[in-house]
Chain A
Amino acid sequence: MNGSAPIQPGMLSGLWATARRDLLLAWKRPGDVLNPLFFFAMVCTLFPLAVGPSAEQLEFSGPGVLWVAALLATLLSLNSLFLGDFEDGSLDQLLVSAQPLPVLALGKTLAHWLTSGLPLVLVSPILAITYRMPWSVVPVMMLTLLLGTISLSLLGSIGAALTVGLHRGTALLSLLILPLAMPVLLLGANTVSLAAGNDIYTTGIWALGAYAVASLSLAPYATAAALRISNE
């Protein structure tokens, strides 16, 4: 009114606002958060039913099964990362916003990780115990899952941004993301196996951490570029 320029909110407030909005939406629709968790638990249940309940076998394959299940559960929830916003038009608002798009994309990815990755990490000990994982290994597994799901959410956000608005989205998203996610799976599952075998496992933790940091610093830009391309 008095001719002065409107005050621009800072970058962090943009990040926080997008994250908070998505968290609020998740709170109002808890099914979206719970379904991938149930999926995670069910995949872990399928395995002993398929290969038999022998103790050594479960102990041996536990880390791998938990990791594959976590990867698939993350993929399941990724499809909806930008879909709702795309359908109701709020994605266009993000695109025309004065805030830098990579920061907003990071906000959405953060909310995605808090509602899908973090619950997986928290639930994983219960399932790990059914696989007879020793107590000393459980924290290692949780740490690998923590670092790994951060990478997966970030990598996945690129794929979700590339496929948003495509009709054949879900299968395509898996096809795009799985090859990129394989190094994470390999590191994560093998680190837990090493820890279970009383071997030195810290290398894997560092590598997973490096992967998470690298994707944290690079993926938002790719996601932002992909969002712009998909919404031209």
Chain B
Amino acid sequence: MWKFFHQLASPPHFYRLAAIFSPWFLVPGIALIAYGVYAGLFLAPMDYQQGDAFRIIYVHVPSAYLSLMAYMIMAISGGIGLIWRMKLAHAVAAAAAPIGATFTFLALATGSIWGRPMWGTWWEWGDPRLTSELILLFLYFGYMALRGAIDDTAKADKASAVLALVGVVNVVIVHFSVEWWSSLHQGQTLMKEGGPAMDPGMLYPLLAMIFGFTLLFGSLLLRRVRTEVLFRERRTRWVREMIMSPEGQ
């Protein structure tokens, strides 16, 4: 068991494994998303209050959840990299940031599109979750800007890991802001006590989308970490040997 983890941390080994695992995430992910999109758009019943507009949650909720999840992955792997000096963990953190920022943007954009018919406005400053999500996007920008500003990769890794860990405080505020400030935003329906307050016909496509998005995220992350590893290890022997080998992988 431990041997597996130790091997996983070695870049050439990870590079090979990631290539094997990535499709295993991608194919079921696409399948789940395809089912979720079809069922969410055509099969799920209309909401008695919101009409068809509610259907945007099939993109909005998974993106919002992944925007937080990607940040946690970024911060935790940054912390692992700082504490155990594991090079691969920093590569994971570096690869997670742009994906997380994209999902954050997607969550903001879909939320704003939903807000137009529901609240009658594209943007509502009074809502803490919108504002916190925007701050999360700024945190991602700051993280990537700091990485970009430091030329030395090892230094950039550590400095950005410190920033990500400090920013975790903000992510916690994002999560609890629903309870902290009274708001226009819908309360939580999915993770409520006593089960989700939602029709099963609406719920199953949503769950499919959440799992599908997560798998897609995993596959994207593996792919990005792979290229990140390849770039970081470009001067090592195993990369040179792999490129020179007759298979030319």
Contacts and interface: CB of A to CB of B under 8 A. Distances in A.
A209 B159 CA distance: 28
B149 A183 contact: no
B149 to A, nearest CB: 5
Interface string B134-164: 0110110110011001100011001100110
B190 interface: no
Interface of A is mostly: helix
B146 A176 contact: yes
A124 interface: no
Interface residues on A, range: 20 to 34
Contacts of B136: 179
A107 to B, nearest CB: 20
A179 B139 contact: yes
Interface stretch (A5-13, A45-53, A69-77, A160-168): A160-168
Interface string A161-185: 0110010100010011011101100
A96 to B, nearest CB: 19
B167 interface: yes
Contact of A179 (B142, B158, B159): B142
A180 B170 contact: yes
Contacts of B159: 162, 226, 229-230
B149 A180 contact: no
A222 B166 contact: yes
A176 B135 CA distance: 11
A229 B149 contact: no
B146 A179 contact: no
A198 B146 CA distance: 43
B8 interface: no
Interface of A: 155, 158, 162-163, 166, 168, 172, 175-176, 178-180, 182-183, 222, 225-226, 229-230, 232
9 contacts: A162-B146, A162-B159, A172-B145, A179-B136, A179-B167, A179-B170, A183-B170, A226-B159, A230-B159
